[in-house]
Structure formats: C-alpha cells, structure tokens
C-alpha cells in the first residue's frame, strides 16, 4: 500500500501527536527499590497504570489503526492460518512506517523504566511489535525471546502493554519466575514446531492479568507464554523491546542472523543501526 493511500485511509497515523500525549509518553515513571529487586529476582514485573486517560486512548487508537493498515489485506480466516499466526497478529517495526506510533515507541517514560530495571547507562530500541490475539486465538507457546535475537548481551527487556483489559480468558501472559538466571536454556521453534519445552514442563508459572494501561517488563531470558483468547473480542497489546547501549552483534550460534535490526553488521560489532536508535 503506497504512502499516499495510507495517509488517505489512516490519517491519524500521520498527524501530529498532541502535546499532552507526548508529555505523557515522556514523563518519568519512578520505580521503588522493592520493584527493582523484584525484577532482578524474578526476571519480570507488573507495573500498574503506566499509561492512563487520553494518552492511553490515543495510543490504542493509533496502534489499532497501524495494525489494521498492516493486516487488512489478509482476508484469511483464523483456521486457515498457521499455528504461529493463530497465536497472534504480529506487526513489527510500526514506528518505522507511522509517525504517531513512533512517538509512542520512542517514549522516554517506557525506555526509562527499561534502563532502571536493567541497571544500565543507556538503552536502545531493538524493535516494536503489536501482538494482537484474535478471538479464538491459540496459546502463545512458552519460550525465551533472546534465543531468537543475535544480541551478545543478557541485558534485554520487553515492555508488554495492555491496550485493553487482558484477563486470563483473553490471553494474558504468564511467566516462570527466576528462569532468566538459567541463560539460554532451550530454543523453541514457535514458528514451525510450537511445543512446550521439556526443560520447563514441571516449572511453576505466575499468571499476570492486566488492566488497560498496565504493563509487564520481562527479561529476554525469562520463559513466558500467553493463554488462548477464549473471548469474542480482540486482545490488544503493544510491545517495545530494549537492549543495553553498547551490546554487540553475535553470529556464533543458532540465533537469527537476518534480523532487520542488525542488517549489515559483522560479528562483534556494536549494534548501532538505523533501526536501533538510542532512546535514553
């Protein structure tokens, strides 16, 4: 779909974000020492009302429009899709195409939380992705994010924001606490051969339902999954993935080497590309 057609059909995505909304995206969110310790110990944390009011309403609108722009041409029914596609509608790099989404993704409020949780001097964007789960959508299989990313650092984290209330029956997340301390334990091919990895079958999980505007942050090493969507409504969630400034690209294991965020890099080079700007 050409740029002019996108602007005509989805004008809000190209309009100036209101000043008060930008301010909400960039106002610091203070974490307590207890919260920092919780994340360090468990590898994930739930934070309440990170976005509220008009800012949340606006974010939901523009992200929803971006997802619509990306997915509307696909007329397949849910049962016609692959198992992976039935887990969620995955729309990545929305900030590259839509200025209104970029304002959200580049928000220093969210990046500041990531910086504090990882206890680093600066963070870069790995990428953003909306993860909508259709009514009837299947589980998102248990996995570690960092097993897919060619980042030679354990300091990565994902913000998962609920744009609507996400109880268990709509597909909320659950995590295996402390699993970030295991290192990369097991690669799970959620694309072609989704399954529950043997290494975590007997591990305890913590279910984390969210209200709209709540978030979780989880380490790229934390095993996590999501319930199926048993409701008749779309589960709407937006994620932003961060990594420590100064991390390098690795090509020495099975992690994907064709990830857009590190195109053109050689093994050992610092990840600093057009897709991975420093946010804070």
User: Residue 110 maps to which CATH number?
Assistant: 2.60.120.620
First to last CA, the chain: 33
> Do 160 and 239 form a contact (C-beta atoms < 8 A)?
yes
Is residue 277 included in any domain, yes or no? no
Is residue 267 included in any domain, yes or no? no
Is residue 273 included in any domain, yes or no? no
Question: What tokens were used for 272?
Answer: 């600093």
- Count of domains for the chain: 1
Is residue 274 included in any domain, yes or no? no
Is residue 278 included in any domain, yes or no? no
Per-residue pLDDT of the chain (280 residues; tens, 9 = 90+): 678 889 999 999 999 999 999 999 999 999 999 999 999 999 999 999 999 999 999 999 999 999 999 999 899 999 999 888 888 899 999 999 999 999 999 999 999 999 999 999 999 999 999 999 999 999 998 999 998 899 999 999 999 999 999 999 999 999 999 999 988 766 666 666 666 677 787 789 999 999 999 999 999 999 999 999 999 999 999 999 999 999 999 987 767 777 899 999 999 999 999 999 999 9
- Nearest CA-CA partner of 213 in 105, 100, 55: 55
pTM across the whole model = 0.94
Is residue 272 included in any domain, yes or no? no
Question: What tokens were used for 280?
Answer: 């804070």
Is residue 276 included in any domain, yes or no? no
Residue 117 is part of which domain span? 3-73+82-262
Provide the CB-side half-sphere exposure for 206 (13 A, CA): 15
For CA atoms 76, 82, 86, 87, the dihedral sign is negative
- For residue 197, CA distances in Å to 24, 94, 184 come to 40, 30, 12
Is residue 280 included in any domain, yes or no? no
């Amino acid at each position: 779909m050409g740029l002019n057609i996108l602007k005509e059909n989805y004008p809000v995505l190209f309009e100036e974000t209101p000043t008060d909304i930008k301010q909400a995206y960039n106002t610091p969110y203070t974490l307590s020492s207890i919260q920092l310790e919780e994340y360090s110990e468990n590898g994930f944390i739930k934070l309440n009302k990170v976005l509220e009011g008009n800012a949340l309403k606006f974010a939901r609108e523009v992200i929803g429009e971006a997802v619509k722009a990306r997915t509307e041409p696909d007329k397949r029914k849910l049962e016609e899709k692959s198992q992976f596609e039935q887990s969620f509608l995955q729309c990545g790099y929305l900030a590259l195409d839509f200025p209104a989404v970029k304002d959200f993704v580049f928000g220093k409020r969210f990046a500041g939380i990531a910086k504090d949780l990882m206890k680093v001097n600066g963070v870069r964007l790995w990428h953003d992705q909306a993860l909508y789960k259709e009514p009837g959508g299947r589980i998102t299989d248990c996995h570690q994010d960092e097993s897919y990313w060619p980042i030679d650092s354990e300091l990565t984290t994902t913000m998962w924001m609920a744009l609507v209330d996400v109880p268990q029956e709509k597909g909320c997340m659950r995590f295996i606490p402390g699993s970030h301390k295991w290192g990369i334990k097991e690669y799970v091919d959620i694309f072609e051969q989704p399954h529950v990895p043997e290494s975590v079958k007997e591990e305890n999980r913590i279910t984390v339902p969210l209200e709209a505007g709540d978030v979780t942050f989880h380490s790229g090493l934390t095993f996590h999954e999501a319930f199926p969507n048993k409701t008749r409504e779309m589960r709407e969630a937006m994620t932003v993935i961060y990594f420590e400034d100064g991390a390098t690209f690795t090509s020495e294991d099975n992690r994907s080497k064709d990830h857009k965020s590190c195109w053109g890099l050689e093994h050992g080079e610092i990840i600093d590309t057009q897709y991975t700007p420093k946010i804070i």
